[in-house]
A and B are shown apart, each in its own frame.
Chain A
Amino acid sequence: MSKDIDKRDGVQEEEHYSLNDDRRVKVLSPGRLVAKRFFRNRLAVVGLTMLVIMFLFSFVGGWIVPYSEDQFFYTMESQKKEYAGVTENTEYRYLITPDQELPTLVRANLGLVLGKDDVFQYKGANYHIETVGEELYQITNDEGTLLALAFKDIINPTQSGASLSYEFSYNALMTYAQGGGSFQADGKNYDMTEHGVITENGQDVADVGRVIVQSRISGRSIPQAFKDRVAQAIENHETEFTLTVDGQEREYTMTYDPAKLLYSVMEDTPTQVYDKYAPPSRIHLLGTEGNGMDVLTRLMYGGRVSLIIGFIVIIIETSIGVVMGGISGYFGSWVDNLIMRIVDIFYCIPSMPLMIILGSAMDAMRVDPQIRMLYLMLLLGFLGWPGIARLVRGQILSLREQEFMTATEATGLSVKRRIFCHLIPNVIPQLIVNMTMGLGSIILTEATLSYLGLGVKFPFASWGNIINEVNNSYVLTEYLWVWIPAGVCLLVTVLGFNFVGDGLRDAFDPKMKR
């Protein structure tokens, strides 16, 4: 009874209603009766609340959150990169005067006597050794002709690969032995600092030294300050040092490989990397996942995808199911038989294995993720209708025999109208319950497929493919924030649909006394 009538009649008059007066009884429409029964069910109300929260989370949340579905986040991380390789020369090298020769065996023997004897004999020839500087010797024969220079300090051209003439090398070595100065070679003037850096008109040409420093990063030359610092570090047996290069203070670590007699210098360089598995913080409330994307944002968009897929699939399923079941139940006889056998056949097709096979085939063919999602929905829809068709047919079979259907026939309504205006509305309660529960199970199926990596694919998010990262057992144990929230979202949503479906089933059942 509406409120207007209440007011008009007043409270006192109520006593005067006759016993069979309709107004004595509070009349509720069937819909309101169902709603009343539904809201009395505590579980159903809890379920409805859960669903409302999840819908708001997925559809409004993605709108509020400042990030987008596939936005990557970066962080600066200091990475050790090999910067230079350093060798210290411990062997004598020989600069042989043009047109002279020094046989290999002589060189081998020379190595033993250099710095100890002045003369040494080999195959009847005398070799005179004269010390010129620190570990720099001149080797002459009996006639006093210079055969070669033996040295340990190596001349490195600044331009790698540039060849150095004999004259240049000779003069450079001699000047280095004297502690620097200027010298002439090939008609050019060179200056040398006491550290052995050779310049021509202020430009670096080469340097002389015991330590060879080679850049490991192509296209990056090594500044002299670094070379000096490395030489000093080797001398002092330091393993770590800092150096200001180009106004930036950098940290270097040195490791020594005794087998290769090689020091390798690692440089700490700040590098931009994906902010992977960042723990929850103020910027990322639920942290970030393996691709450096915000988990909370992915969850919201994932919820959208999961729910939309669920709705589309259930709509496809229900429309096919209602049409097939309706036709089958109404017409009976051979039509019914035929449709029910088709239902039986579809019932026997194992949908999960089929989805897995098609999913991995699509994987191999690199189907576009968006088209894939479409296929997924169509397939799930086309495989899921038999259950609904059976339900509708069963209902219609029993409804068909009732009096109101005889009445529609008697009034001469068209077949179409009888099915869709009188039969189907009576099936709708069961259908709604079925759809609600079905939504939950479709979301589960989609999530399972995505979890296996065969459903919704990156860059689209889905609750299932967020949990997919658990396959990496380190994520399983250490990065709980990546997968637990997605699982909870799934659980809450499916549970919500099931609670509501259960509540609706009870509410629609007129036999229920509460």
Chain B
Amino acid sequence: MTPQTRGISRNAFSGKVAGLLLLLVPLAVGLFSLAPGLDPLSQNLMHRLSPPSLEHPLGTDHLGRCLLARIAHGTYISMGAALVIAVCSAALGALLGMIAGYIRGAMDMVIGRLVDATLAFPGILLALMLAGLTGGGVMVLAAALIITTWPEYCRVARSVSRTLSGAPYVQAGVLTGFSTGFILRRYLLSQVTRPLLPLVSLGVGKAILALSSLGFLGIGVTPPAPEWGVMISAGLPYLREAPHLVMFPSMLIFMTVLGFIILSGQFEKHRTDFQHASSAKPEHQASA
């Protein structure tokens, strides 16, 4: 191993550690929700807007609810929903992309137009519309976000599948009589997942932001439920007296999104390193 490659691997290591450490914070906060006596909904109007104390480590909000309890329970909603949204969206995009790229023909046309149409449609508007029609809720919001974000994954999956469909080993499979489903699963899926992984990680971060902004706007998650964006918007009127109401959830959103973005960069790096290592094989190593 040359000095340069060693440097790369050390960077990759520290990057992964940084990303994971950042993600540990919201996860640790989330664990507090399991602690007894921390109820996100129990109000105590005697202790409104109190600063952090031993009893309430992060202070209380305008209705005297424990902020730590609310943030902890909010982790499930914000992070959980974001993960589900990103993974579902990637799965949908990958499936359609693989079909479009491998089978081509009419399927490619239909899926391609669908991608174009979705990309041209404003996501926020769709979320607002759906919320207006159904009365909102996390599920509706998630559906809206999945519908607007899959094309990104679809395009990547399609271009990878298209290139691979001409690869000798895929053609050999066709000649041997492999079914289309088997080729998609065995040969294309693993190759499509590799470039999608950094996108998914980035997608989680984006979904958290989208959920929070929509929560802040008042659609999506309905107020008593503890969601980070909703908490920020609820705390905004009290910014002067109790800045911690806005500060703590904002910090968590920031750290979580940053964590996912750093992880995404690491996935991307791992992928290019891998490609580099497998494509550029100098002669003196090939012989060994």
The answer to whether A and B belong to the same complex is no
B interface residues, Cβ below 8 angstroms from A: none
A interface residues, Cβ below 8 angstroms from B: none
